Structure 1
């Protein structure tokens, strides 16, 4: 029996009946766990279950659908099981509506600052979140600069050029919206043509366009998705490329040269390859 499944059952004070792996699991083990008391729950390990639980709770406080946190410790996160029986293609507009709810979340105290209460990680890739009062500075330091020592030298040179230009390309002080932070179709649960859950967050406060941009890395959302939060602002195409570049860099570091063309594409679209 899986150690993670046994641990999840123990956290919930129940016996373990069975378990099976769920899709995904590239950077964490995720299981559907069947308990002796008849419940079915989802158990997940690393990189930081306690931080992920706090992120899910923050998303839920906005009214967005997220799986309820049932138990958590340093080794495992246990959340309610929400069936996913549909395709995101049927409800992009609903995802846009959900994101508008999420993005209404603001940092405590109403301060204009960007970041999160602690750093995070996606697998072996660190995600620093130190509070910063200027958005281009946050993106340069914490989403691009952290990769310089880990990517090919030509990519690093292009990133350095882009980082110097960010004050001209990104807004200095956009409203600091709560972000899912790693939004793509695999992190959205769907059933009955509705979004039933946002999962695997990498939350922080930043420019709302980040989530809109990253949703289009592996999919092609329709206009209804982008318009749910209001019309896109002028110049969004370049900003989308800059925000998508972070996803590409993370994938390059986690999964290798297969993602080199994606990095090149977003550098091109940013004007800095």
Structure 2
């Protein structure tokens, strides 16, 4: 049930007299998402966040579009508690054509560079804060601001055990040597949360990306995340490699290590099953 003040804001934004039906689409940890059918036949999607945070999402979407050239849904209304966008009836089925188009778009995004790792402000991944202080060295940033930061937060919340945290810290001491062969030198803009629910496609073309968690990174961390839940297959990686060659050792070693960050995020959001998956990866390298 929507809080009355949010329902009122939604009606004011769209025009209550224009709304035919409001149907729930999904619920996130800190937001409710609805599909609006309007009397003129158009459809909208509304995301309502009682605790705020929409301003950050709008900022990241616009940055992806303006700076990175990625398509996003048309934003029709936004406040810190509500965003209303065009509804896109995605038929993403991971066709080879759609994968190749996604690779073209993401390679273009990853061509946007900066002179530091991190971002000009902290962002969010899902409902969780994501710190982005500026670093000159990617490996140090990844260890301190991704693995150790998220691991310590998960430990404080009881989502990982002290023994698992000690293993993570031990692995962090090995990462500089494991990554030494990768020649990581250029910060590149990433979407940051590329599971297939955040990619909207129609007829084999990607028409929008949603729910980003942007910062400047080694883009391999983005590629790794797409393997965690099967976002893309071989067609994507073949096309992406034509644009930006994937460095040796990514699939064999760095992919799993990069996915520890996403698994720690999921452990905080969804529970210890993901902590166990992370521990299995850590054990492989200890």
Q: Contact (CA 8 Å) 1:92, 1:222: kept in 2 or not? A: yes
Structure 1 unaligned segments of length 5 or more: list them. none
| Corresponding residue SS for 1:228 | helix
| Corresponding residue SS for 1:130 | coil
Scaled by the length of structure 2, the TM-score of the pair is: 0.84
Please show how residues 54-65 of structure 1 align to structure 2 within 5 Å.
54-61=59-66, 62-65=68-71
> What is the deviation of 1:44?
1.4
Please show how residues 194-213 of structure 1 align to structure 2 within 5 Å.
194-213=205-224
Distance 1:45 1:182 in 2: 20
Q: Is 1:240 aligned with 2:249?
A: no
Residues paired across the two proteins, number: 267
- Look up the match of 1:87: 93
Distance 2:185 2:238 in 1: 18
Q: What stretches of structure 1 move > 6 A for 4+ residues in a row?
A: none
> What is the deviation of 1:135?
0.5
Gap change, CA 1:97 and 1:72, over 3 Å in 2: same
Structure 2 unaligned segments of length 5 or more: list them. none
- Look up the match of 1:52: 57
Structure 1 residues 91-147: Cα deviation after superposition (integer angstroms, max 9, x where no partner): 22222112112112233xxxx201122223345532111121110111111111112
Scaled by the length of structure 1, the TM-score of the pair is: 0.87
- Look up the match of 2:109: 102
Q: Is the helix fraction higher in 1 or 2? A: 2
Distance 2:215 2:30 in 1: 20
Distance 2:39 2:231 in 1: 42
Distance 1:77 1:210 in 2: 28
- Look up the match of 1:136: 139
> What is the deviation of 1:201?
0.7
The farther-off stretch of 186-195 and 11-20 is 11-20
In angstroms, what is the RMSD of aligned CA positions? 2.4
The farther-off stretch of 57-66 and 188-197 is 57-66
